[in-house]
Structure 1
Amino acid sequence: MAYQPVTSQPGQATWMPVPSAPPGCPPGLEYMTQIDQLLVKQQVELLEAFTGFETNNKYKIMNSQGQKVYFAAEDNDCCSRQCCGNIRSFEMKIMDNSQNEVIHLSRPLRCMHCMWVCCLQELEVQSPPGTTVGWVKQTWHPFLPKFVVQSAAGETVLTIEGPCLNCSFCGDVEFDVMSADETSKVGKISKQWSGLAREMFTDADNFGIQFPMDLDVKVKACLLGAVFLIDFMFFEQVGNQEQQNTVW
């Protein structure tokens, strides 16, 4: 499908222009070649805010200039959303300006408990859909949220480590992105404070991601996927109670 520019309305963010794709770049990931940070903004669902009825999550993904890069939408059934809460499995479609699905995220249903190694979380990242480019997998730790980012071949390329407490009143909650051997920090994922009313009455969150400009676009796609796994695990409401005390 040929790229068709989207004309923005007054007050709305414009779409990021499509850059040239380098050789071997999966279709849709060429945007990532010119990006070293992203802002992921969850859309506020009024039905969910006023009734507590869980709806499919939707997100705008923007660059540092406020231009829209992608749009992400959860694809899930009503029963899973209402009965399984934040541990629910999901399929997440990430689409470009032309509404082509360029990244697909898949999370299986697993319980969350720090003492059960068999319940560690994972997320498969595909780009284009059907072609696995990497994984985000939780690793066991007694009190810290820790993850590894792996290539499609299962090789660990990055690690992610969060704080013991995943709440910070009027401040950001930061997850450090580290090298594979955990000796150097190369970026971070930040859950950003979005205001008292929004924090109390909705689970619509804002996240920022920072990573090296020259990082492999497939690894960047995996870090984007890590945002959604972290959001569901630690910041998604269960009923009207958000997971805000500890990582478990």
Structure 2
Amino acid sequence: PGPLSPSPPQLRAQPQGAMQVGVQARELRQPMAMAMAAAAPGQMVMSAGMQQLAMLPCIDVQERAQWLQEATALLGAEIEMANKYRVLDQVGNQFFYAVEKTDCCRRQCQNGLCADCTSWEVDVLYTPPGGLMQKFLALRRPCSCVCCCINRPTADVIDEATGQKIGSFRDPCTCCSLRFQVRDASDTDVLVVNGGCCCTQPGILCPLPCGPCAQVRFDVEDAESRSTVARITKRVPSCLSWFFAPDVDSYHVTFEHIQNPQWKAIMLAFTIFMDFRYFNVNRNQEQARDVLAEL
């Protein structure tokens, strides 16, 4: 049989029952061959990474500290290193590992005036315990000239098993709130990630490891009905980690009503995209250097 399309994600609330939203939305218009092996008619064969995601109700995305980068930041000449992320299940088992593939020159531009325009790439690998590492997803942010509300940043998600685009993200222009558009393979808006504004979530502008600043919650909503189908919670690290590596965060992604593993993969990639866009800047380098100077 030819390539089979996955079942659409359950996004629309059912007419009866309490919030049976599960992600079942519009069909992805681009066919997805989830594996090269022959499958029985009507049966979709998924890659090992997709099969693993299908069984996970939630994941933790943890950025790994780059101590050379933090040490050079304290000295006043930060060298931007490649970002790396561990993806764990609810009991702490690592199943995925994300690595930034951007070259050194482009990485140094990410914290400068060209941060919004700079391109970058991230590869997500499937790392089963005791198994061989396999390519899973590729996240690609093309270089673009961003100016206020014109030509806003976007990124594409590629399934490495098929080489096909399965979704994309867009960061629209907003005044004082964080809002993202999550699209399917045909660039149709399916989900909206809403982080509110800095007035209701002080952790957006002031990420301290205590009180209301220690967490920022993002509601993942259906683009049409505005029903909440998933949640992403950004967590600030411990006090010691925050002092030396304040830009290293962790994210807890609860899929809730999202059942389709392809959309779970898109949400995993989106979490990394969001970290690159807004939470990948060392905000207290100067404060740390001032404290060390007084010691």
Q: TM-score, normalised by structure 1?
A: 0.80
1:120 alignment partner in structure 2: 152
C-alpha change, 1:39 and 1:112, in structure 2 (3 Å) is farther
Once the two structures are TM-superposed, the CA of residue 200 in structure 1 deviates from its matched residue by: 3.2
Once the two structures are TM-superposed, the CA of residue 214 in structure 1 deviates from its matched residue by: 4.7
Count of aligned pairs between the two proteins: 220
- Map 1:25-104 → 2, pairs under 5 A: 25-51=46-72, 52-85=78-111, 86-87=115-116, 88-97=118-127, 98-104=132-138
SS in 2 for 1:233: helix
CA contact (8 A) 1:93 1:103 kept: yes
**Which residue, 210, 230, 241 being the options, matches 2:274?**
230
1:216 alignment partner in structure 2: 260
Structure number with higher strand proportion: 1
Once the two structures are TM-superposed, the CA of residue 182 in structure 1 deviates from its matched residue by: 5.0
SS in 2 for 1:225: helix
1:152 paired to 2:185? yes
1:85-135 deviation per Cα after TM superposition (whole angstroms, max 9, x unaligned)? 25432111111122211111001234666xx22241211001126210011
Once the two structures are TM-superposed, the CA of residue 201 in structure 1 deviates from its matched residue by: 2.5
Once the two structures are TM-superposed, the CA of residue 179 in structure 1 deviates from its matched residue by: 1.2
Distance 2:110 2:59 in 1: 29
1:184 alignment partner in structure 2: 227
1:9 alignment partner in structure 2: none
Distance 1:233 1:112 in 2: 13
CA contact (8 A) 1:122 1:138 kept: yes
Structure 2 residue runs of 5 or longer lacking an equivalent are 1-38, 73-77, 199-203, 287-295
1:177-221 deviation per Cα after TM superposition (whole angstroms, max 9, x unaligned)? 111225211111111021123223212211111113652222111
C-alpha change, 1:45 and 1:79, in structure 2 (3 Å) is same
SS in 1 for 2:269: helix
2:12 alignment partner in structure 1: none
Distance 1:212 1:24 in 2: 23
1:136 paired to 2:165? no
Q: Return the letter of the residue paired with 1:161.
A: N
RMSD: 2.4
2:249 alignment partner in structure 1: 205
1:173 alignment partner in structure 2: 216
SS in 2 for 1:230: helix
C-alpha change, 1:199 and 1:239, in structure 2 (3 Å) is closer
C-alpha change, 1:151 and 1:27, in structure 2 (3 Å) is farther
CA contact (8 A) 1:120 1:140 kept: yes
CA contact (8 A) 2:87 2:94 kept: yes
Distance 2:46 2:172 in 1: 29
C-alpha change, 1:160 and 1:101, in structure 2 (3 Å) is same
Distance 1:224 1:101 in 2: 15
Q: Return the letter of the residue paired with 1:193.
A: V
CA contact (8 A) 1:160 1:176 kept: yes
Distance 2:66 2:219 in 1: 29
| Structure ID, larger Rg | 2
